[in-house]
């Protein structure tokens, strides 16, 4: 990689623009072409991840327009998460074989194609197919962004850049319901995709014209049995967790079977990867977990993602069913928390570069836990401003958590494991999001069914179910605080075996 310094590029006769560029490179450790690549990837990743949660608020409208049941409508979200969980583990291999530009064009091309299909979908099967294609592109984009940042940014400046990534990973899903509510208040649900398509196409064209290659592909063979085990394993786990939540209180046997098959396939997948690592041929290199910093950070990340996705699924249900709010009002209710995460992330990144992860992670996980317990106190008579305030506190806590976690986790790995570490992080996010959603929805359904059987009305039963779900989530959130203490003060590279 061509890393220029002022001594090599700035001469007394150099133009002012060149001198300014050299000064910026010295301060940030990146060249203009690297900053262009990271900026374009950040924008594109924000757009694609926003679509992961944009359909939640739209489900009632979708059910009415397409004459489908709630269980069927839920597949527009479940299929997206399922596809992500299947494709992301393969991206470690994909990013080794493709250049930065080729991987970007593949990801955005798939996303644009899927978005077009969704926008024109005449019925549910076509819409579902479009969501699957969208998810394939999204699954490639996130690991590509993380791997590019780790390659292009020196350790001293990674916190600031990872802060921008935190905006993408945490704020985009949080803003999904808000965007959906705003659009649905004036337009048909197809415009959720129609408004995104021009932005995605613009990113695709700009990438085709300007995106530089920052990585060098290397030969790598794909192990087809590993691909099959990965698809069955991660797909089965996400499918099982999703269906357990939906089937709670009724027939959960199919969901438990899918979960059991997925877990068995994951055991076989892990054993095969450990064997293939000996010849540097693993589909997903699990030597990333030889880094203590990476392992602990992934655990805290999973707990935080469970809290985020569980809350995102519960609050719209509570606001619409118990508080009687409209879709637009629900979106506006969640907007301040999402914006706060975005506003704080760059400052948190700079603080990480200066102080390291622990000074941010410990108070951050404590604030997340406090907000989780705040949701427990919410009841049928709670004002909507109180719900927004607690969610705002949650957003502030998550802003303190995500940037240090991503930076510390990937920064503890050697360069040859960046792509695999990024794939692991992305996979954990999807599985943890599915687990959080399933856990919260399962507790909600069981508690609400019990309350209904005891004679409670629909609103009171829903309120009781939400209370029970948040109580379980709050108890789990406490576990992240001591785990955060185990993350190193500095993410200096842990000793991890290199390629065989």
Choose the most confident range, by mean pLDDT, from 33-42, 69-78, 247-256, 471-480.
471-480
pLDDT at residue number 287: 86
Cβ contacts of 77 within 8 Å, gap of 6 or more? 52, 53, 55, 56, 59
User: Which residue shows structure tokens 């394993």?
Assistant: 233
Residue 216's Cβ-count burial label (10 Å; 0-12, 13-18, 19+) is exposed
Q: Is residue 14 part of a domain?
A: no
pLDDT at residue number 1: 40
Q: Is residue 11 part of a domain?
A: no
- Give me the domain span that covers residue 293: 30-211+222-485
| C-alpha distance from residue 238 to each of 73, 133, 217, 309, 481 (Å) | 17, 18, 31, 14, 26
pLDDT at residue number 13: 42
Would you give the DSSP letter of residue 325? -
Q: Is residue 20 part of a domain?
A: no
Q: Assess contact for 341 and 167: CB atoms under 8 A.
A: yes
Q: Which two tokens stand for residue 348?
A: 């948190």
- Which CATH number goes with the domain that contains 338? 1.20.1250.20
pLDDT band at 220 (very low <50, low <70, confident <90, very high): low
| C-alpha distance from residue 241 to each of 105, 255, 262 (Å) | 32, 7, 10
Run of H or E residues at 184: helix 172-184
Domain count, the chain: 1
Q: Is the pLDDT of residue 33 over 60?
A: yes
Kindly report which listed range (35-44, 369-378, 484-493) carries the lowest average pLDDT score: 484-493
| C-alpha distance from residue 94 to each of 103, 287, 409, 426 (Å) | 8, 18, 21, 14
Q: Is residue 6 part of a domain?
A: no
Q: How many angstroms separate the CA atoms of 479 and 298, rounded?
A: 13
Q: Is the pLDDT of residue 267 over 50?
A: yes
Q: Is residue 116 part of a domain?
A: yes
3-state secondary structure of 287: helix
Residue 68 φ then ψ, to 5° = -125, 160
pLDDT at residue number 399: 85
Q: Is residue 164 part of a domain?
A: yes
Kindly report which listed range (186-200, 245-259, 453-467) carries the lowest average pLDDT score: 245-259
Cβ contacts of 69 within 8 Å, gap of 6 or more? 63
pLDDT at residue number 87: 85
> Could you give the percent of the chain with pLDDT greater than 70?
87
pLDDT at residue number 28: 46
Q: How many angstroms separate the CA atoms of 165 and 232, rounded?
A: 29
pLDDT of 116-146, one tens digit each?
Answer: 999 999 989 999 999 999 989 988 888 888 7
Average pLDDT over residues 11-23: 40
Q: Is the pLDDT of residue 257 over 60?
A: yes
pLDDT of 410-466, one tens digit each?
Answer: 888 887 788 788 888 888 887 887 778 777 887 887 888 888 888 888 888 888 888
Q: Is residue 61 part of a domain?
A: yes
| C-alpha distance from residue 88 to each of 150, 202, 403, 412, 456 (Å) | 18, 24, 20, 21, 44
Q: Assess contact for 44 and 164: CB atoms under 8 A.
A: no
Q: Which two tokens stand for residue 440?
A: 């919260």
pLDDT of 91-105, one tens digit each?
Answer: 877 777 788 888 899
pLDDT of 316-327, one tens digit each?
Answer: 778 877 888 876
Q: How many angstroms separate the CA atoms of 301 and 309, rounded?
A: 12
3-state secondary structure of 323: coil
pLDDT at residue number 99: 85
> For residue 394, which of 316, 485, 484, 477 has the smallest C-alpha distance?
477
């Amino acid at each position: 990689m061509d890393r220029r310094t002022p001594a090599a590029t700035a001469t007394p006769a150099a133009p002012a623009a060149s001198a300014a560029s050299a000064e910026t490179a010295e301060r940030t450790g990146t060249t203009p072409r690297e900053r262009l690549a990271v900026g374009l990837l950040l924008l594109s990743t924000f757009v694609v991840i926003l679509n992961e949660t944009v359909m939640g608020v739209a489900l009632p409208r979708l059910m009415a327009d397409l004459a489908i049941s709630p269980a069927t409508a839920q597949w527009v979200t479940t299929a997206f998460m399922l596809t992500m969980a299947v494709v992301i583990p393969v991206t470690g291999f994909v990013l080794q074989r493709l250049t930065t530009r080729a991987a970007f064009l593949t990801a955005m091309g798939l996303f644009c194609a899927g978005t077009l299909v969704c926008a024109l979908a005449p019925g549910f099967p076509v819409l579902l197919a479009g969501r699957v294609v969208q998810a394939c592109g999204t699954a490639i984009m996130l690991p590509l962004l993380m791997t590019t940042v780790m390659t292009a940014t020196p350790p001293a400046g990674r916190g600031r850049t990872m802060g921008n990534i935190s905006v993408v990973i945490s704020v985009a899903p949080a803003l999904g319901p808000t965007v959906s509510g705003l659009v649905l208040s004036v337009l048909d649900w197809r415009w959720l995709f129609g408004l995104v398509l021009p932005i995605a196409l613009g990113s695709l064209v700009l990438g085709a014209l300007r995106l530089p290659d920052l990585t060098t592909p290397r030969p790598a063979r794909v192990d087809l049995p590993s691909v099959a085990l990965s698809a069955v394993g991660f797909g089965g786990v996400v499918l099982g967790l999703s269906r357990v939540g939906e089937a709670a209180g009724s027939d959960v046997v199919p969901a438990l079977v899918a979960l059991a098959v997925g877990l068995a396939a994951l055991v076989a997948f892990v054993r095969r990867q450990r064997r293939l690592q000996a010849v540097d041929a693993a589909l997903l290199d699990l030597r990333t977990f030889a880094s203590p910093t990476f392992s602990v950070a992934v655990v805290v990340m999973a707990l935080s993602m469970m809290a985020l996705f569980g809350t995102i699924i519960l609050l719209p249900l509570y606001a619409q069913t118990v508080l009687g709010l409209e879709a637009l009002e629900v979106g506006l209710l969640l907007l301040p928390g999402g914006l706060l995460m975005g506003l704080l992330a760059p400052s948190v990144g700079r603080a990480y570069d200066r102080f390291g992860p622990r000074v941010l992670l410990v108070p951050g996980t404590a604030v997340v836990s406090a907000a989780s317990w705040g949701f427990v106190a919410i009841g049928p008579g709670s004002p909507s401003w109180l719900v927004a305030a607690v969610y705002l506190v949650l957003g502030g806590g998550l802003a303190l958590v995500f940037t240090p976690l991503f930076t510390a986790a990937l920064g503890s790995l050697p360069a040859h494991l960046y792509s695999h570490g990024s794939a692991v992080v992305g996979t954990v996010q999807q599985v943890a999001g599915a687990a959080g959603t399933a856990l919260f929805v399962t507790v909600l359904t069981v508690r609400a069914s019990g309350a209904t059987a005891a004679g409670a009305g629909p609103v009171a039963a829903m309120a009781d179910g939400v209370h029970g779900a948040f109580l379980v989530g709050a108890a789990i959130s406490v576990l992240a605080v001591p785990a955060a203490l185990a993350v190193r003060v500095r993410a200096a590279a842990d000793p991890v075996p290199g390629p065989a």
